[in-house]
Amino acid sequence: MKKLFGILFVAGLVAGTAVAEDDVKARTAPVGSTCMSGDECAAAPAPAAAAGPKSGKDVFGSFCTTCHSAGLMGAPKYGTAADWAPRVAKGKETLYTHALGGFNSMPPKGMCAACTDDEIKGAVDYMIEGSK
């Protein structure tokens, strides 16, 4: 019985720590994110859209994933090394060129017209890295 209490005590401590961490996260959330409509702070101007270039992961998640997660129309699947190895063998520059300018059913810039060339290249790198 003593042992059981010990386990419960430890479990309680672990749960307590998790709660405390959540608490800290909530308190350290960026200003503005906790505003509710109706609050005074909600009237404050929204923070400027995320500054700086989008990460390869973000571009992938917003655009490339549509085709590259399911392998639509023969798109090399993210996470599938067998799909990517022959592509990577062509050289990264070729893949960048095809991602930017299009290649068969691969649309130019993966349909992210607003993406910069570097952002598209970042998404290519992200897919290659995640598909080894």
Q: Which of 54, 77, 78, 124 binds ligand HEC (CB under 6 A)?
A: 124
Q: Which of 54, 77, 78, 123 binds ligand HEC (CB under 6 A)?
A: 123
What is the rounded distance in angstroms from the CA atom of residue 36 to the CA atom of residue 33?
Answer: 9
Pinpoint the alpha helices (H) of the chain.
Answer: 2-27, 56-59, 65-68, 81-88, 92-101, 117-129
Task: Answer yes or no whether residue 73 interacts with ligand HEC by CB under 6 A.
Answer: yes
Only segment of 17-25, 30-38, 47-55, 101-109 that touches ligand HEC (CB under 6 A): 101-109
Q: Provide the 10 A C-beta neighbour count for residue 54.
A: 21
Between helices 117-129 and 81-88, what is the axis angle to 10°? 130
Give the nearest distance from C-beta 106 to ligand HEC in angstroms.
3
Contact footprint for ligand HEC (CB under 6 A) = 59, 63-64, 66-68, 72-76, 87, 90, 94-95, 98-99, 103-107, 110-112, 120, 123-124
